[in-house]
C-alpha cells in the first residue's frame, strides 16, 4: 500500500500535469474540504442571488423585460443545482449544505446583502455582478476538480448572456431622459464598490489563496481577478456615459492597468459577518421559501419511492 507521502506526491504531480481530479480519485482531506467550502458557498450565492432580482419581477417595466428577468432568475436556480450536485460528489449531502445556509453558518457572496432599490439596479446587477462573477468563473472553468470545472463551463455561457442583458438595460436608461440617466448613475454609485468586494479580501489577507493556487482550485488570486474586472469595466462605463465613483481611478501607462482607490474593508467585513443592509432579510426569505417548498420535496420523494418500488 502507498504511504500518505507518496499519495500526496502523485496527487500534486497529476495537478501539475493539468489532469483533472475526479470524485473517486484519492485526494488530501484539505483539498476535499476546501472544495466543499468554496463550491457550497458558490451554490448558496447563486440561490440567495435570486432574491434581489426576484424583488423586481412584478415591477419590471414591460412584459419583455419581465420575461427576460424571470428566465435569468431561473438560470440562477439552475446554477445552484449544478453546484450543489458538484459538491455532493465530494461526499457531502445537499440537506447538510442547505441546513448550514439556513442556520447562518455558511457564507454566501457579500454582494447579495445589498438592496435592489430601482429598476436600474437590475441593469447594474447584470452588468457588474454577473460581470464580476464571469471574470471569476471563466478562470474556474480550468479548476483542477473535474465536476466543478464542467459545471462552470455551462454556467459561464449563461452568465455572459446575463451580463449583456444587464448592460442593455443600462444602455436603454442612459439613452433615455435625464431622470433615467440619473437612475443609471445612482445604481452604478451603489453597486460599484460592493462588486469589487465580490473578489474577496486582498491577497495579503486571503486565508485560502496560497493553498488553492497550489492545488489549481484557483487560477488567479483575488487581486488579479479584481484588476481584470476593473480593466474590463471602465471602457464599458465610458460607452454608457456614466462615471465610476472613484476619484483615484486612472489609467497607469507603466502598469498597463487602471489604478483604483482603496476598498472599504471594514464595510466588507461587516457584511460578511452578517451585518449588511439585507443579511437578515435574505436569510428569513430563504428560510420561508424552504419551508414553503417542503410539500414539493415530499411529493418528489413519494414519487421516486413509488417508481423504485415498481421497478423492483
Contacting residues toward ligand FAQ, per CB under 6 A: 37-38, 41-42, 45-46, 49, 76, 107, 109-110, 125, 129-130, 133, 136, 197-201, 206-209, 212, 222, 272
Tell me the three cell numbers of residue 122. Answer: 437590475
**Distance separating alpha carbons of residues 287 and 25, to the nearest angstrom:** 36
- Rounded Cα distance between 139 and 153, Å, is 10
**167, three cell numbers:** 448592460
Distance, CA of 285 to CA of 271 (rounded, Å): 17
Residue bearing cell 480593466: 231
User: Which residue, 181 or 268, has its beta carbon nearer to ligand FAQ?
Assistant: 268
Nearer to ligand FAQ, 42 or 181 (CB): 42
Minimal distance, residue 45 CB to ligand FAQ, in Å:
4
C-alpha grid cell, residue 184: 443609471
Around Cβ 56, how many Cβ atoms within 10 Å? 20
Shorter beta-carbon distance to ligand FAQ: residue 7 or 213: 213
- Residue closer to ligand FAQ by CB (options 39, 181) is 39
**How far is the first Cα of the chain from the last one, in angstroms, to the nearest whole number?**
39
**For cell 496560497, what's the residue?**
210
Would you say 179 or 207 has its CB closer to ligand FAQ? 207
Q: Give the nearest distance from C-beta 176 to ligand FAQ in angstroms.
A: 24
**Residue 210 or 239 having the CB closest to ligand FAQ:** 210
Distance in Å, CB of 129 to ligand FAQ, minimum: 4
Of the two residues 147 and 200, which places its CB atom closer to ligand FAQ in the complex?
200
Rg, C-alpha atoms of the chain? 21
CA distances from 159 to 137, 172, 199 (A): 9, 20, 16
To ligand FAQ, the closest distance from the beta carbon of 179 in angstroms equals 26
Rounded Cα gap, residues 65 and 57, in angstroms: 9
H-helix segments, 175-264: 178-197, 209-214, 222-240
Closest distance between ligand FAQ and the C-beta of residue 253, in Å?
Answer: 29
Least distance in Å: CB of 50 to ligand FAQ? Answer: 6
* Distance of closest approach, residue 199 Cβ to ligand FAQ, in angstroms: 6
**Given its phi and psi angles, is residue 110 left (phi above 0), alpha (psi -120 to 50 degrees) or beta?**
alpha
Cell of 283: 436569510
- Closest-approach residue to ligand FAQ (CB): 49
Q: Strand, coil or helix: what is 123?
A: helix
Shortest distance (Å) from residue 63 CB to ligand FAQ: 22
Closer residue to ligand FAQ, CB minimum distance, 181 or 218: 218
CA–CA distance, 193 with 203 (Å, rounded to integer): 17
Amino acid at each position: 500500500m502507498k504511504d500518505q507521502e507518496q499519495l500526496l506526491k502523485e496527487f500534486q504531480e497529476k495537478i501539475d500535469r493539468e489532469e483533472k481530479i475526479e470524485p473517486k480519485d484519492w485526494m488530501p482531506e484539505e483539498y476535499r474540504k476546501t472544495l466543499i467550502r468554496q463550491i457550497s458557498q458558490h451554490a448558496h450565492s447563486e440561490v440567495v442571488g435570486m432574491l434581489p432580482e426576484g424583488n423586481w419581477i412584478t415591477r419590471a417595466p414591460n412584459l419583455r423585460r419581465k420575461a427576460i428577468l424571470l428566465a435569468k432568475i431561473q438560470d440562477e436556480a439552475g446554477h445552484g443545482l449544478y453546484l450543489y450536485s458538484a459538491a455532493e460528489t465530494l461526499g457531502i449531502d445537499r440537506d447538510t449544505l442547505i441546513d448550514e445556509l439556513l442556520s447562518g453558518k455558511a457564507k454566501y457572496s457579500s454582494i447579495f446583502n445589498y438592496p435592489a432599490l430601482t429598476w436600474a439596479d437590475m441593469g447594474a446587477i447584470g452588468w457588474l455582478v454577473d460581470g464580476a462573477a464571469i471574470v471569476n468563473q471563466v478562470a474556474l472553468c480550468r479548476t483542477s476538480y473535474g465536476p466543478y470545472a464542467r459545471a462552470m463551463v455551462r454556467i459561464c455561457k449563461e452568465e455572459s448572456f446575463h451580463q449583456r442583458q444587464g448592460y442593455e438595460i443600462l444602455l436603454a436608461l442612459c439613452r433615455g431622459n435625464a431622470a433615467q440617466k440619473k437612475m443609471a448613475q445612482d445604481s452604478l454609485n451603489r453597486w460599484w464598490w460592493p462588486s469589487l468586494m465580490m473578489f474577496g479580501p486582498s491577497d495579503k489577507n486571503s486565508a485560502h489563496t496560497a493553498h488553492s493556487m497550489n492545488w489549481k482550485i484557483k487560477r488567479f488570486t483575488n487581486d488579479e481577478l479584481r484588476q481584470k474586472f476593473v480593466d474590463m469595466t471602465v471602457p464599458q462605463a465610458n460607452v454608457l456615459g456614466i462615471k465610476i465613483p472613484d476619484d483615484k481611478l486612472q489609467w497607469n501607462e507603466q502598469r498597463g492597468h487602471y489604478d483604483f482607490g482603496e476598498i472599504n474593508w471594514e464595510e466588507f467585513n461587516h457584511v460578511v459577518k452578517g451585518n449588511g443592509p439585507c443579511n437578515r432579510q435574505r436569510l428569513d426569505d430563504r428560510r420561508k421559501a424552504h419551508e414553503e417548498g417542503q410539500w414539493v420535496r415530499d411529493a418528489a420523494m413519494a414519487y421516486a419511492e413509488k417508481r423504485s418500488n415498481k421497478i423492483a
